[in-house]
Amino acid sequence: QGFLSTLLLSSNGSCFILPAETMTVVIGFEGSANKIGVGIIRDGEVLSNPRRTYITPPGQGFLPGETAKHHRSVILTVLQEALDEAGLKAADIDCVAYTKGPGMGAPLVTVAIVARTVAQLWGKPLLGVNHCIGHIEMGRLITNSENPTVLYVSGGNTQVIAYSERRYRIFGETIDIAVGNCLDRFARVIKISNDPSPGYNIEQMAKKGTKYIELPYTVKGMDVSFSGILSYIEDAAHKLLSTSQCTPEDLCFSLQETVFAMLVEITERAMAHCGSQEVLIVGGVGCNLRLQEMMGVMCKERGARLFATDESFCIDNGAMIAQAGWEMFRSGHVTELSDSWITQRYRTDEVEVTWRD
């Protein structure tokens, strides 16, 4: 009794014994964009999840080199906070997970180096995690959704995803820029603050908008395009505002209504194709209450259920990497040190999902 275990074998023959009846503790490092976070998960329980955000002045985005410099300056502090909040020591950790990609190169490298170093110092197995799958698995954990159609919307990604035959299949996506990138770049045009985030500030301004400005609506089958909308509103904003034809709040309102309607349309089409009765919204843009409201109306009309999380877990965080790492580690995944590189392009459907039926 108590001796059932899982043998985890890495590519060079190193092995780790994972007792089946003990609780598994995984620490996750996330830093693919302007958030740096370290989270600890123990069998579905979030023990800690501190993070920091690199915030630039209004009208500016965040550059890879400067973002990586920010991450380097705070990552060890955030790591110590995670351990202290969880009340754990290095010896209590079973696996070290980190974001392998996708994301910005320099920040990803910063986090990977720290994760590799920590894994070696602590003598723990290492595990590279797909950032997108981290969002999905965290959303499934927090909401208890069973098999949802997933809308993944963030500054770098826009995808409609459903699980099928050991893969998270992409049914639709952006063909150019992500919806979050569209919102962020519009915020720069009209000098909206980046604190706490441009998307959040656009959402608050949109609540005060009263006039809808017609914008290009670009859905191509199951895919969407946001670059044309952005170009149009960038050009139109100066003309409309300088002639007092509308307010900045009206533009925020109009942009949100248009791009969110596009996302609801392709999500509903994916639901119909998959016969799904659940929608899960993940990613930083998923915090937007207007998007949740619009998606909720569609779900109600279909007799479906909507699942979403708050900013604690929608926005990039370490716990989501730890949760995906927990699932992968328990099903036998380990990343050998020589394979612990990063990639800026890492498709959601590249990962074999061995932890689901």
Q: What share of the chain is helix, strand, coil (3-state, %, to 5)?
A: 45, 20, 35
153 labelled binding-site residue: yes
Burial class of 12 by CB neighbour count within 10 A (0 to 12, 13 to 18, 19+):
exposed
Tell me: is residue 184 an annotated ligand-binding position.
yes
* Cα–Cα–Cα angle for 301, 307, 52, rounded to 5 degrees: 140
Strand order in the sheet with 167-173: 167-173, 158-164, 149-153, 278-282, 305-308
| Tokens matching residue 215 | 């914008």
Q: Does 316 carry a binding-site annotation?
A: yes
Residue 156 assigned as binding residue: yes
Cβ neighbours of residue 1 closer than 8 Å, sequence gap 6 or more: none
235 is in an annotated binding site: no
Rg (CA), the chain: 21
Q: Which of 29, 9, 11, 102 is nearest to 339 (CA)?
A: 11
> Is 288 annotated in some ligand binding site?
yes
- The annotation status of 131 as a binding-site residue, yes or no, is yes
Contact of 268 with 302, CB cutoff 8 Å: yes
Angle between helix 131-143 and helix 318-330 axes, rounded to 10 deg: 90
Residue 282, helix vs strand vs coil:
strand
Annotated binding site for substrate: 152-156, 184, 199, 203, 288
Annotated binding site: 131, 135, 152-156, 184, 199, 203, 288, 316
Annotated binding site for a divalent metal cation: 131, 135, 152, 316
